Amino acid sequence: MIKKIFFQSIFFGFLFFKGAFAAESGGMPQLNPEFWISQIFWLILTFGTMYVVLSKFILPKISNNLESRKSQILENIEAAEKQREDSEAKLKEYDEIILKSKSEAKTMFNQTREKVLKDIMAKKEVLDQQIDDEINKAEKEIEVLRVSAPDKINKIAIETSSELLEKLIGSGVNSSSISAIVDDLSKRNGDKYYGN
Protein backbone atom coordinates (compact mmCIF):
# COMPACT_ATOMS: atom_id res chain seq x y z
CA MET A 1 0.00 0.00 0.00
CA ILE A 2 2.70 2.44 1.04
CA LYS A 3 4.81 1.33 -1.87
CA LYS A 4 1.98 1.96 -4.29
CA ILE A 5 1.42 5.46 -2.93
CA PHE A 6 5.15 6.17 -3.17
CA PHE A 7 5.39 5.15 -6.82
CA GLN A 8 2.20 6.96 -7.70
CA SER A 9 3.46 10.16 -6.10
CA ILE A 10 6.70 9.88 -8.06
CA PHE A 11 4.74 9.36 -11.25
CA PHE A 12 2.46 12.31 -10.62
CA GLY A 13 5.35 14.46 -9.58
CA PHE A 14 7.07 13.64 -12.85
CA LEU A 15 3.94 14.50 -14.80
CA PHE A 16 3.64 17.76 -12.90
CA PHE A 17 7.24 18.77 -13.62
CA LYS A 18 6.92 17.85 -17.26
CA GLY A 19 3.76 19.91 -17.51
CA ALA A 20 5.48 22.83 -15.82
CA PHE A 21 8.38 22.74 -18.26
CA ALA A 22 6.11 22.40 -21.26
CA ALA A 23 4.11 25.32 -20.06
CA GLU A 24 6.99 27.71 -19.45
CA SER A 25 9.43 26.93 -22.26
CA GLY A 26 10.16 24.38 -24.88
CA GLY A 27 12.19 21.91 -22.75
CA MET A 28 15.95 22.24 -22.44
CA PRO A 29 17.50 25.51 -23.61
CA GLN A 30 20.53 23.45 -24.65
CA LEU A 31 18.58 21.96 -27.54
CA ASN A 32 17.48 25.31 -28.87
CA PRO A 33 19.73 25.92 -31.90
CA GLU A 34 19.25 29.67 -31.93
CA PHE A 35 22.68 30.48 -30.46
CA TRP A 36 24.63 27.38 -31.50
CA ILE A 37 26.61 29.15 -34.19
CA SER A 38 27.40 31.98 -31.80
CA GLN A 39 28.58 29.56 -29.12
CA ILE A 40 30.74 27.63 -31.58
CA PHE A 41 32.27 30.86 -32.86
CA TRP A 42 33.06 32.23 -29.40
CA LEU A 43 34.32 28.86 -28.17
CA ILE A 44 36.77 28.58 -31.05
CA LEU A 45 37.83 32.19 -30.60
CA THR A 46 38.40 32.08 -26.83
CA PHE A 47 39.80 28.57 -26.65
CA GLY A 48 42.04 29.14 -29.66
CA THR A 49 43.41 32.38 -28.23
CA MET A 50 43.98 30.78 -24.86
CA TYR A 51 45.71 27.78 -26.45
CA VAL A 52 48.02 29.97 -28.53
CA VAL A 53 48.96 32.23 -25.61
CA LEU A 54 49.45 29.31 -23.24
CA SER A 55 51.51 27.18 -25.61
CA LYS A 56 53.63 30.01 -27.03
CA PHE A 57 54.27 32.19 -24.01
CA ILE A 58 53.21 30.84 -20.66
CA LEU A 59 53.81 27.07 -20.65
CA PRO A 60 57.41 27.30 -21.94
CA LYS A 61 58.11 29.81 -19.18
CA ILE A 62 56.69 27.53 -16.49
CA SER A 63 58.60 24.57 -17.88
CA ASN A 64 61.74 26.69 -17.98
CA ASN A 65 61.21 27.78 -14.39
CA LEU A 66 60.75 24.19 -13.27
CA GLU A 67 63.82 23.02 -15.15
CA SER A 68 66.04 25.81 -13.85
CA ARG A 69 64.86 25.22 -10.29
CA LYS A 70 65.51 21.52 -10.65
CA SER A 71 69.00 22.06 -12.03
CA GLN A 72 69.74 24.63 -9.35
CA ILE A 73 68.63 22.27 -6.63
CA LEU A 74 70.69 19.49 -8.19
CA GLU A 75 73.69 21.79 -8.35
CA ASN A 76 73.26 22.73 -4.72
CA ILE A 77 72.96 19.10 -3.74
CA GLU A 78 76.09 18.32 -5.72
CA ALA A 79 77.98 21.16 -4.04
CA ALA A 80 76.79 20.00 -0.63
CA GLU A 81 77.89 16.46 -1.45
CA LYS A 82 81.29 17.70 -2.53
CA GLN A 83 81.73 19.71 0.62
CA ARG A 84 80.68 16.75 2.69
CA GLU A 85 83.31 14.60 0.96
CA ASP A 86 85.90 17.31 1.52
CA SER A 87 85.10 17.51 5.19
CA GLU A 88 85.20 13.74 5.45
CA ALA A 89 88.64 13.66 3.87
CA LYS A 90 89.80 16.35 6.25
CA LEU A 91 88.38 14.43 9.16
CA LYS A 92 90.30 11.37 8.01
CA GLU A 93 93.48 13.40 7.75
CA TYR A 94 92.94 14.77 11.21
CA ASP A 95 92.34 11.27 12.56
CA GLU A 96 95.53 10.09 10.94
CA ILE A 97 97.51 12.95 12.44
CA ILE A 98 96.08 12.21 15.86
CA LEU A 99 96.89 8.52 15.51
CA LYS A 100 100.41 9.26 14.35
CA SER A 101 101.13 11.66 17.17
CA LYS A 102 99.65 9.20 19.62
CA SER A 103 101.99 6.43 18.47
CA GLU A 104 104.90 8.87 18.51
CA ALA A 105 104.10 9.84 22.04
CA LYS A 106 103.89 6.20 22.98
CA THR A 107 107.30 5.34 21.50
CA MET A 108 108.79 8.41 23.15
CA PHE A 109 107.31 7.40 26.44
CA ASN A 110 108.61 3.85 26.06
CA GLN A 111 112.08 5.06 25.15
CA THR A 112 112.23 7.38 28.10
CA ARG A 113 110.98 4.70 30.37
CA GLU A 114 113.63 2.27 29.20
CA LYS A 115 116.30 4.88 29.62
CA VAL A 116 115.14 5.73 33.11
CA LEU A 117 114.91 2.06 33.98
CA LYS A 118 118.41 1.52 32.74
CA ASP A 119 119.69 4.42 34.83
CA ILE A 120 117.90 3.11 37.85
CA MET A 121 119.33 -0.36 37.29
CA ALA A 122 122.83 1.00 36.94
CA LYS A 123 122.51 3.07 40.08
CA LYS A 124 120.98 0.16 41.86
CA GLU A 125 123.88 -2.05 40.87
CA VAL A 126 126.34 0.48 42.11
CA LEU A 127 124.45 0.80 45.35
CA ASP A 128 124.22 -2.97 45.67
CA GLN A 129 127.94 -3.22 45.16
CA GLN A 130 128.56 -0.64 47.85
CA ILE A 131 126.17 -2.33 50.22
CA ASP A 132 127.79 -5.70 49.55
CA ASP A 133 131.22 -4.23 50.16
CA GLU A 134 130.12 -2.71 53.41
CA ILE A 135 128.43 -5.90 54.49
CA ASN A 136 131.59 -7.84 53.69
CA LYS A 137 133.66 -5.39 55.64
CA ALA A 138 131.35 -5.55 58.59
CA GLU A 139 131.29 -9.32 58.45
CA LYS A 140 135.05 -9.42 58.43
CA GLU A 141 135.18 -7.15 61.45
CA ILE A 142 132.62 -9.31 63.17
CA GLU A 143 134.66 -12.38 62.30
CA VAL A 144 137.79 -10.79 63.74
CA LEU A 145 135.89 -9.81 66.84
CA ARG A 146 134.41 -13.24 67.15
CA VAL A 147 137.73 -14.90 66.84
CA SER A 148 139.35 -12.63 69.41
CA ALA A 149 136.43 -12.52 71.82
CA PRO A 150 136.78 -16.03 73.47
CA ASP A 151 140.46 -15.45 74.28
CA LYS A 152 139.64 -12.22 76.06
CA ILE A 153 136.75 -13.80 77.88
CA ASN A 154 138.92 -16.73 78.92
CA LYS A 155 141.56 -14.34 80.17
CA ILE A 156 139.00 -12.39 82.20
CA ALA A 157 137.49 -15.61 83.47
CA ILE A 158 140.87 -16.88 84.55
CA GLU A 159 141.68 -13.64 86.31
CA THR A 160 138.34 -13.35 88.07
CA SER A 161 138.30 -17.02 89.04
CA SER A 162 141.88 -16.85 90.39
CA GLU A 163 141.00 -13.73 92.36
CA LEU A 164 137.83 -15.36 93.68
CA LEU A 165 139.72 -18.48 94.63
CA GLU A 166 142.38 -16.36 96.34
CA LYS A 167 139.71 -14.60 98.35
CA LEU A 168 137.89 -17.84 99.11
CA ILE A 169 140.82 -19.97 99.87
CA GLY A 170 143.30 -17.27 100.89
CA SER A 171 146.19 -18.55 98.92
CA GLY A 172 147.24 -18.42 95.30
CA VAL A 173 146.16 -21.18 93.09
CA ASN A 174 148.07 -22.48 90.18
CA SER A 175 146.86 -20.33 87.40
CA SER A 176 147.74 -22.86 84.76
CA SER A 177 145.27 -25.45 86.11
CA ILE A 178 142.51 -22.79 86.23
CA SER A 179 143.24 -21.74 82.69
CA ALA A 180 143.07 -25.40 81.67
CA ILE A 181 139.61 -25.74 83.24
CA VAL A 182 138.40 -22.43 81.76
CA ASP A 183 139.64 -23.46 78.36
CA ASP A 184 137.90 -26.72 78.65
CA LEU A 185 134.64 -25.04 79.71
CA SER A 186 134.83 -22.32 77.14
CA LYS A 187 135.40 -24.91 74.46
CA ARG A 188 132.27 -26.73 75.51
CA ASN A 189 130.22 -23.61 75.85
CA GLY A 190 131.69 -22.13 72.74
CA ASP A 191 130.43 -25.15 70.89
CA LYS A 192 127.09 -24.44 72.44
CA TYR A 193 126.90 -20.66 71.87
CA TYR A 194 129.17 -19.93 68.97
CA GLY A 195 128.79 -23.08 67.01
CA ASN A 196 127.64 -22.51 63.50
Backbone angles phi, psi at 87, to 5 degrees: -65, -35
Whether residue 39 contacts residue 45, with contact meaning beta carbons closer than 8 Å, is answered with no
Provide the minimum distance between the beta carbon of 90 and another protein in the complex, in angstroms, as a whole number.
Answer: 29
Instruction: Tell me, residue by residue from 65 to 84, as one string, x for binding to another protein by CB under 8 A and - for no binding.
Output: xx-xx--xx-----------
Provide the minimum distance between the beta carbon of 10 and another protein in the complex, in angstroms, as a whole number.
Answer: 14
Whether residue 182 contacts residue 161, with contact meaning beta carbons closer than 8 Å, is answered with yes
Backbone angles phi, psi at 113, to 5 degrees: -65, -45
Query: Which residues from 28-67 bind another protein, rule CB under 8 A?
Result: 28-32, 34-44, 46-47, 49-51, 53-55, 58-59, 61-66
Note whether 25 binds another protein by CB under 8 A.
yes
Note whether 14 binds another protein by CB under 8 A.
no
Exactly one of 1, 24, 171, 172 binds another protein (CB under 8 A); that residue is: 24
| Crossing angle between the packed helical segments 175-194 and 59-169, to the nearest 10 degrees | 160
The string over 165-177, giving b where at least 16 C-beta atoms fall within 10 Å of a residue's C-beta and e elsewhere, is beeeeeeeeeeee
Q: Closer to another protein by CB, 20 or 89: give it.
A: 20
Whether residue 189 contacts residue 150, with contact meaning beta carbons closer than 8 Å, is answered with no
Q: Closer to another protein by CB, 80 or 181: give it.
A: 80
List of residues contacting another protein (CB under 8 A): 20-21, 24-25, 27-32, 34-44, 46-47, 49-51, 53-55, 58-59, 61-66, 68-69, 72-73
